[in-house]
Chain A
Amino acid sequence: MSEQILFKVTIDNITIEVPAGTTVLQAARLIGGQVAPPAMCFYSKLEGSGGKCRTCLVEVSKGSEKDPRPMPKLVVSCRTTVMDGMEVKNITSEKVLDARAGVVEFLLLNHPLDCPICDQAGECHLQDLSFDHGKAETRYEFQRRTFKKHDLGKNIQLHMTRCILCYRCVYTADQLTNKRVHGILDRGDHAEIATHIEKSLDNEFIGNVIDVCPVGALTDKTFRFKNRVWFLKPMDAHRDCPTCSGRVTLWNRGDEVYRVTARKDQWGEIEDTPEGQPGWICNTCRFDKKEAADWIIEGPREISRQSVIAQGHYAGQIGTTKPTEIFAAVNDGRTPHLLMDIHDESEVNLPNVHLGKIQGPSNGDTFNTNNTHKA
């Protein structure tokens, strides 16, 4: 039996030993917490993924014990393997934080920021990333790129406008199905995920593209607009499925099953089954088994990372800002100039009718009884 070779790596001044071949990102995740760089495109269960979004850039301040020279550029931690004696700076590097803020800005440049109407809100990795590393304002003043919504079959909706081109769904289709029908078309800033001709994705495992999508570009049509994820209670459950492991997370309200997803770990990736296989789930489990009776409930699932689902996650970190009077600020110090008093013009809002003082919801009757002028 050969002994496993262990490499010592120091990330943000914390040293651990990991097997040779481990990536910097995996090592950092073993340390956990803030030391783990964010990753929008890398997905450990998908071969070939990573390197594209550039959010996991880190500084290698010492290459290895043998060759201590620092690496000249920031490197992607998801695709850089550790060397013995390597020293890495993530959040302790100003350069990294600066570059990461830049990447977040780039990723959000053409993103619609339609979180209020997006089903992914509350469990969106881009939302997390923006909270952690983004700025409150954008410096982009041009029209954002948009695409038409696209149905990929009866269960999956593609909202390309939100896509950050992580390629995860392409790798998923390549590696989980035997015939990929969607891919990346065009290039540069108009590249898009598409099928070229209207086609539905109907492989039995294609539903997993929804789980790997870090944003709201691929969503579950059987769940769209049905509920907000933070109102739902995630429960681990399983069933005897002939196609997949049948191990899922149910998203319930009361006894009602709103949504079925694969089980995800703290990094948002699909958990392994007890047999050590990635726990991808089939379309039947995901889209068709929406009765509580279909499932054997194991117990509540703890969601450890996601923004809104894990309530209060951000309160301690970014603090809360008290609302203040902003008129003066946005008007360069000028007080608002009253163009007209609505009471002078409106027949409805007469001076003696104060909407705020009407008890309960106001309706036509309220006005009829109070509106002496009309009566």
Chain B
Amino acid sequence: MTYTFNETQMAELNRLVAHYPEGKQKSALLPALHLAQESFDGWLPTELMDYVASLLHIEPIEVYEVASFYSMFNLKPVGKFIFEVCQTGPCMISGSDDIIAYIQQQLTIKPGETTKDGVFTLKLVECLGACGYAPMMQVGKVFREHLTKEKVDSIIAEYRATVTK
């Protein structure tokens, strides 16, 4: 499959590249990969990374090296919504283990897996900087905080509703 940015996406890329000095367009790699990941299927297939490399005039390997380094870039297909649940110290002492177990039970998937319908992926992550609002998880751009079992239920229902519509 080949990937091409549409006009809006291309304009956004150009805006990002313009943040850096001339000839330093590689600096836009992280923002560009975010853009690419958000613009297509939520993950970065090789062809998409190659496309980003060509846009920034760098070698594909430079993109692979970077994409595989940062935990926010998905190199494998993911569900429509990714539940990224924090499991580090402060969240753990505030009960994240129970929340993780509960989500697993509700979605019948293990960490790293995607539901059969392709809607949810469960991912265990390390500290997201919301320790005072623990336990918490990130879904897309937003943080869902002070999680309880009831809250998890309603969050699952909320996202499921957006798909079935």
Contacts and interface: CB of A to CB of B under 8 A. Distances in A.
- The answer to A–B direct touch (Cβ < 8 A) is yes
Interface of A: 179-187, 195-197
B46 A181 contact: no
Interface in B56-85: 59-62, 64-65, 68-69
A195 B61 contact: yes
9 contacts: A180-B59, A181-B60, A182-B61, A183-B61, A187-B69, A195-B61, A196-B64, A196-B68, A197-B46
Interface of B: 46, 59-62, 64-65, 68-69
Contacts of A180: 59, 61-62
A183 B62 contact: yes
A183 B46 contact: no
Main secondary structure of the interface of A (DSSP, over half): loop
Tell me which of B46, B59, B65 has the highest count of chain A C-beta atoms within 10 A of its own C-beta. Answer: B65
A187 B68 contact: yes
Contacts of A181: 59-61
Contact of B68 (A179, A185, A197): A185
Contacts of A184: 65
Contacts of A187: 68-69
A186 B76 CA distance: 13
Nearest to B65: A183
Given A180-B61, A184-B65, 20 more contacts: A180-B59, A180-B62, A181-B60, A181-B61, A183-B61, A183-B62, A183-B64, A183-B65, A185-B64, A185-B68, A186-B68, A187-B68, A187-B69, A195-B61, A196-B46, A196-B60, A196-B61, A196-B64, A196-B68, A197-B46
Contacts of B68: 185-187, 196
A192 to B, nearest CB: 9
Nearest to A192: B68
A185 B64 CA distance: 7
A273 to B, nearest CB: 29
B8 to A, nearest CB: 29
Given A196-B46, A197-B46, A179 B59 contact: yes
A181 B63 CA distance: 11
A324 to B, nearest CB: 49
Contacts of B59: 179-181
B46 A185 contact: no
A26 to B, nearest CB: 30
Nearest to A195: B61
A235 B111 CA distance: 57
Contacts of B69: 186-187
Contacts of B60: 181, 196
A18 to B, nearest CB: 36
A187 B68 CA distance: 7
Contacts of A185: 64-65, 68
A185 B69 CA distance: 7
Contacts of A183: 61-62, 64-65
